[in-house]
Structure 1
Amino acid sequence: MEQSRAQTKWSQFLSLIVVFFFWGFVAASNDILIPVFKKWFVLSQVQSQLVAWAFYVAYFVGSVIFFIVSLKSDILQKFGYKKTLAVGLALSAFGAFLFVPAAAAASFWFFLTALFIVGLGFSVQQIVANPLAIKMGSPETGAHRLTLAGGINSLGTTIGPILLGIVLFGMGNKNDSKPKDTNLTKIELVKDEYEAHKKELLKNVAELREDRQDDPLKINEVIATVEQTVKVLDGQIASIDQNPSADDAQIDAYSKKIVKIKQKSSTISYPIGFVKDHLKEVKMPFIVLGIAFILVAIFMLFSKIEDPAKEEEAEIDEGSSKFSVFNYPQLYLGMLAIFIYVGVEVSIISNLPALLHTKEFGGVLEHNIAPFVSLYWGSLMIGRWNGSINVFNMSKTVNMLMKFIIPFVAFGIIILANELSGKDVSSFYIYAFWILAFIIMSFIGGKAAGKTLMIFGIAGIVMMVLGLVYPDKEIAKYFFISGGLFCSIMWPSIFDLAIAGLGKNTGKASSFLVMMILGGGIIPLIQGWICDFDKTSPDGIMGITWTHFSYVIPILCFIYLAFYGFVTPKILKKQGVVMGETTSSGH
């Protein structure tokens, strides 16, 4: 075993994982774009989820095209892994550069097209990079290498929203991003919500008065609409000042009123030039990304990455040139698992800004969302860094010690990055308890992919249920965010289980699995659709808002993932396929 571990081709592998970083950077940045586009393009929650839809449906389309072409010719064997990767990177670069005209046109559909093309390039990269990472060394450490690559992916997801947040909103204000003062009375908290919304609207009025590119009549019309809303807010604030000892019924009435005022504000259509001005900052990060994609593509072409030997993919001969997904239960069940896994991973965070924007979760505004997004995606980094420890050859004692140290090192990076961006994240320290729970569960899961997937699926169910029922919403939000921790091990575990026993058909199976990344575009739409019931039923359901209730969707997803982890090892055993210790205890 020790010898097999030493076979990892590190110089080649380190070149490859740069690509994994880009996937994470862009995917997490989408979660900052969603509330921004929702605000300036006047979108419903389900419409805002089209950002995720455009990005992830591209994976499906790209994989279908790849598979159809591969039926006539094995692309990876004909052109090689490096050239195929470079083509995928060039395609993503083209999509990134399209953000420039999209921002200039202030067109939501143009932005979706650009994201679709970026995702199309990523689909090609995913099909190549995942099996390549597994094959760059001993099969026994294949899943560990994929987990390490996932850890680099998660570093991108942690840094992406922070950097994009800085570009769009500037450096943070620690006083502005602090949690609500728990010493304030209920009526004072409601008043704070009114004043925060008034401050936001007055800022827009001030900027509108400086607008020289739009029709003055349109500008004055919008200013009048906004100022009318400000007058309503002033009237409510004055009423609160005259009623400092308001009872619960009166406080509830004030709370419902601010919800209605915010809903009305969200329908204000700002002048096109004004919107363009607020979207122009989106261009620069994607120009830089586009250039980086091209540079990495060139680097890949001249790197020493070797294509896996053809005989390695021919180890298992099915006796037929025809390949059918339905011949492999581990594969078609794994396709559904990937669909659901990516869906739940994206849906939890894509709808989190809407949840945190609700009154019960503190009314967090767009410019203060980035730390929560980075903590969620950083949670995947914590889990994947922990899982990747088994790639390295170290003693059992050191290995166990590192499994406690590395997650908290990753957590420290998340805290430091947010602090450097100017945000107050002192409230994040309590999250250490969730990290400790994750470490304990990773030891319980052991090294079997199926068992670990089942345990973390169950953990995901428990966390989502607690997020729905826990009375203190300052704590409840961390139960939802911890979904990132328990998703962190799932991709390599599902992928490893799904391609087990496929032999020469591994490439085709990989394209089918990558097709199922489509779930990242579908499941968030379903959850967003539930969120939008708050507009027609402001009283919510079962004592909570519909946005809060929408997190029943992740519960259903985690139930299936736990089932897949339970049933697949039994299926493989019947086929005579023994997985062995393919997934680290850190998963």
Structure 2
Amino acid sequence: MWGFVHNLDPILIPHLKRSFSLNNLQSSLVDSSVFIAYLLMAIPAGILVKNYGYKSGIITGLLLFALGSFLFIPAADTGQYLFFLGALFIIACGLTILETVANPYVSLLGDPATATRRLNFAQSFNGLAATMAPIIGARIILTEGSTDEELSAMTESARQLSLAAEASSVKTPYLILGSLILAIAIIFYIIRLPEIEQNEEEGESKNVFHALRHKHLSWAVAAQFFYVGAQVCIFSFFILYAVEVAQIDKVVAADYLGWGCGLAFMIGRFIGVFFMRFIQSERLLAIYSVLCILLCLPAIFMQGHIAIYSVIGIAFFMSIMFPTIFSLGIKGLGKDTEYGSSLIVMAIVGGAVLPLIFGYIADLTGSLQFGHIVSLICFVVILAFALKGHKIVKNEIFNG
């Protein structure tokens, strides 16, 4: 469900860009309002889990998720871009808590040797959301009441009314989404979940800075920052990118996003889980990083459907990156696991920062293609983590 709402953002960006006459940089604030929450809420989420447990964290995250979804209704009624950004921020606060809780919970519930494979499997269903959200969302949200020619012929007041009516198309999907999430929160309140018991010999984690003394965790934080930035740049700008490079309709572009990027992302996750039975997760991460770097080149320099297929290929090979980086980052942290999880979730703020740079480069050069230089740099950093940064070295914790 939180994969579904994340993958509605690429639909919201072109929709709100048109409704509020935004440029690429301004429209990228949709991502910034979402991912800045990960920076602000990750540490409080970790404290919540340590003090009240995983179940309480899940329920709190779901309730905030539902609240933000319901706030889309008054946001549409006011017709103010800032209110949409505020509603997205509230949703993201809930998602931050869910990410902080669910990822280590899945990793810790079972054999540590298969934690990375288990987390990849659980997150494979995020790929299902990445497939369905653009296809469903485009047909509900990307409903243009008037063509650009008709809008240009209207008076300013009539034009504003027409665009405001289009902006209101978000009410129904977010009302349904909020209702479903509220129902799920009630279910989680009722059911019993096993709590993770901390080994008494490990003691208590001192603070978040103590967790950062693990070198491989610091590398994982950096790698996750760049990974999420790359994923958001690729998915969020895909519709605008596909329209530019192949001159196709936005709804057709949304289908490429769903059946192309989303389906590739989901299949890539399941295939990655299978490969991890035979290939070490860090080695597979390195191989996939190299392939993503190579695919960035046609995405930047080629036109037409070849460029689109290159980006779809990137979606396939980046599929395993988030859960693999996460699992490798919290491996061996022991008493620092909760804070380590919070730090890696904080790194998701890369989704707020790097799309701004992507949008700025696109506006500066007049082409969204050159924005994928940002994506290429991100995969280089992830490759460095896969080759070296993930390694746990004995006595790696700095003195102090």
TM-score normalised by structure 1 residue count: 0.63
- CA 102–217 in structure 1, closer or farther in 2 if over 3 Å, else same: closer
**Equivalent residue for 1:86, pick from 50, 59, 64:** 59
Give the secondary structure class of the aligned counterpart of 1:551: helix
Amino acid at match of 2:230: V
1:63-116 per-position Cα deviation (integer Å, ceiling 9, x unaligned): 13335xx2xxxx324322112210111011111000001111111110000000
- For 2:251, the equivalent position in structure 1 comes to 367
- For 1:6, the equivalent position in structure 2 comes to none
- For 2:286, the equivalent position in structure 1 comes to 454
Alignment of 1:87-486 (within 5 A): 87-169=60-142, 200-202=147-149, 204=151, 218-219=157-158, 270-271=159-160, 273-311=161-199, 314=200, 316=202, 321-322=206-207, 323-358=209-244, 361-374=245-258, 375-389=260-274, 446-470=278-302, 473-486=304-317
1:189-222 per-position Cα deviation (integer Å, ceiling 9, x unaligned): xxxxxxxxxx93345479x6xxxxxxx7733xxx
Displacement, 1:343? 0.5
Stretches of structure 1 that go unaligned for 5 or more consecutive residues are 1-21, 172-198, 209-215, 220-269, 390-441, 536-545, 578-587
1:498 maps onto 2:329 in alignment: yes
1:42 maps onto 2:21 in alignment: yes
Displacement, 1:316? 4.1
Distance 1:330 1:77 in 2: 22
Q: Is the 8 A contact 2:234 2:311 kept in 1?
A: yes
RMSD over aligned Cα atoms? 2.4
Distance 1:519 1:28 in 2: 16
Distance 1:377 1:61 in 2: 28
Distance 2:324 2:395 in 1: 19
Percent identity among equivalent residues?
Answer: 30
Deviates more, 1:41-50 or 1:297-306: 297-306
Displacement, 1:301? 1.3
Distance 1:463 1:350 in 2: 18
1:548-586 per-position Cα deviation (integer Å, ceiling 9, x unaligned): 2221111111111001000035x3144599xxxxxxxxx
- CA 345–29 in structure 1, closer or farther in 2 if over 3 Å, else same: same
Distance 1:467 1:366 in 2: 19
- For 1:231, the equivalent position in structure 2 comes to none
Q: Is the 8 A contact 2:106 2:115 kept in 1?
A: yes
Distance 1:378 1:553 in 2: 23
Q: Is the 8 A contact 2:240 2:250 kept in 1?
A: no
**Equivalent residue for 2:32, pick from 37, 47, 53:** 53
Distance 2:53 2:248 in 1: 48
**Equivalent residue for 2:392, pick from 572, 579, 584:** 572
**Equivalent residue for 1:507, pick from 328, 338, 343:** 338
Aligned length: 394
Q: Is the 8 A contact 1:316 1:503 kept in 2?
A: yes
Q: Is the 8 A contact 2:143 2:169 kept in 1?
A: no
1:258-310 per-position Cα deviation (integer Å, ceiling 9, x unaligned): xxxxxxxxxxxx32x22221122210111111111111111111123211122
- CA 575–466 in structure 1, closer or farther in 2 if over 3 Å, else same: farther
Amino acid at match of 1:280: S
Q: Is the 8 A contact 1:338 1:517 kept in 2?
A: yes
Distance 2:386 2:215 in 1: 13
- For 2:362, the equivalent position in structure 1 comes to 531
Displacement, 1:341? 0.5
- For 1:175, the equivalent position in structure 2 comes to none
- For 1:242, the equivalent position in structure 2 comes to none
**Greater Cα radius of gyration, structure 1 or 2:** 1
Q: Is the 8 A contact 2:73 2:171 kept in 1?
A: yes
Distance 1:501 1:141 in 2: 13
Stretches of structure 2 that go unaligned for 5 or more consecutive residues are none
Q: Is the 8 A contact 1:334 1:494 kept in 2?
A: yes
1:502-555 per-position Cα deviation (integer Å, ceiling 9, x unaligned): 1011011001110111011111110110110245xxxxxxxxxx3222211111
1:91-143 per-position Cα deviation (integer Å, ceiling 9, x unaligned): 11111000001111111110000000000011011111101111222212211
Distance 1:565 1:381 in 2: 21
Displacement, 1:167? 1.1
Q: Is the 8 A contact 2:211 2:339 kept in 1?
A: no
Amino acid at match of 2:37: A
